[in-house]
Amino acid sequence: MNENIIHEILKEYEMKRDRALKDALNRKNKLYKEIPELEKIDEEIKKVGIEITQSIFKEPENGRELLNLLKERLNNLKKKKAYLLESNGYPEDYLEPKYECNICKDTGYVNRKRCKCFDQKLINIYYKQSSIAEILKKENFSNFNFEYYSDKPYGDKPSPRSNMKNIVEFSLNFIKNFDTTAESLFFYGDSGLGKTFLANCIAKELLDRGKSVIYRTAPDLIEGLRINKLNADSSSYNEYLELLKECDLLIIDDLGTESITAFSLQEFFNILNTRLLLGKKFIISTNLLLSEIMAIYPERIYSRIFGHFKLLNFYGEDIRLKRKMII
């Protein structure tokens, strides 16, 4: 997980807590002027609180009786305070700090575990970072339609629909076992067969489970690195590279449409190799045939792809064309 993101979130929590405490203090000071008796009760409450602590240390033997007495006094004072607030038209908890999340009181943690609100913040950040937040509203499993794939055998191969069912089943297992397996997915096949669509479906499922997902087309990926590298400040390149290396899932769409240069091959190899060594997964999609992959990319790249990726072949009729003909 990205340390910077965690740091930012914790800073945000701290600011929220500070604000909640400050607001509560402001309300209190105002109310003390309006209802002076309240301040007296609060002082009493504080005193009793101190006495309770002292009594525990001083007289451990017969402390219990004293403790009960003090606790009763404390309760009475609290009741009095609540009554005073209410009779002046304020809710009982008017002077308490108002946290955005009452479960963790804006600390982000409950019993040393991340609070739900923390997870949600991470999800929101990961959604933004992925670059596909908008498209995922449409391209997700709830809109997945097998009807676009013919159920007739495809030459000597099984029907595109049954092929797709296998691929989807494989993808669902990929999501289910995301934390325990290191195998990546390689989608290859002609245009308009749903490679990007399925990658997006998977991305959404994982984002909703709090995983960080980055989507880039291969040209964007390389161009982003190139531009950041040109930048005089090397930190932007390093930060970008870190993002690509550290995210839980990196989707590289349209592999082979980037212009192939020494730089593009070096950067691609670097990301591929580093992530695989870290046990991090990819989804790569391409229009290229496996033989073309072997012709375009050096062995150190394609041997890693063939070794670490499940190769899934998409075939059938172009959905884009099909849709046009139906409409």
Ligand X SMILES: Nc1ncnc2c1ncn2[C@@H]1O[C@H](COP(=O)(O)OP(=O)(O)OP(=O)(O)O)[C@@H](O)[C@H]1O
| Closer of 38 and 288 to ligand X (Cβ) | 288
Tell me if 272 contacts ligand X by CB under 6 A: no
Q: CB nearest ligand X: which residue?
A: 194
The interface partner of residue 104, options being ligand X, Zn ion, Mg ion, none and the CB cut-off 5 to 8 Å by kind, is: Zn ion
Nearest CA among 70, 80, 30, 33 for reference residue 49: 70
Tell me if 131 contacts ligand X by CB under 6 A: no
Tell me if 14 contacts Zn ion by CB under 5 A: no
The interface partner of residue 115, options being ligand X, Mg ion, Zn ion, none and the CB cut-off 5 to 8 Å by kind, is: Zn ion
| Closer of 131 and 274 to Mg ion (Cβ) | 131
Tell me if 101 contacts Zn ion by CB under 5 A: yes
208 to 138, 169, 202: CA distances (angstroms): 15, 19, 10
Q: Are 238 and 184 in contact (CB under 8 A)?
A: no
| Closer of 50 and 103 to Zn ion (Cβ) | 103
Residue with the two structure tokens 């690509």 = 244
The interface partner of residue 193, options being ligand X, Zn ion, Mg ion, none and the CB cut-off 5 to 8 Å by kind, is: ligand X
Q: Which residues lie closer than 8 Å to 120 by C-beta, 6 or more apart?
A: none
Tell me if 320 contacts ligand X by CB under 6 A: yes
Count, residues near ligand X per rule CB under 6 A = 16
| Closer of 12 and 151 to Zn ion (Cβ) | 12
| Start-to-end Cα distance in the chain | 45
Applying the rule CB under 5 A, the residues between 173 and 212 that interact with Mg ion are: 196
Footprint on this chain of Mg ion (rule: CB under 5 A): 196
Give the interface with Zn ion as residue ranges (CB under 5 A): 101, 103-104, 115, 117
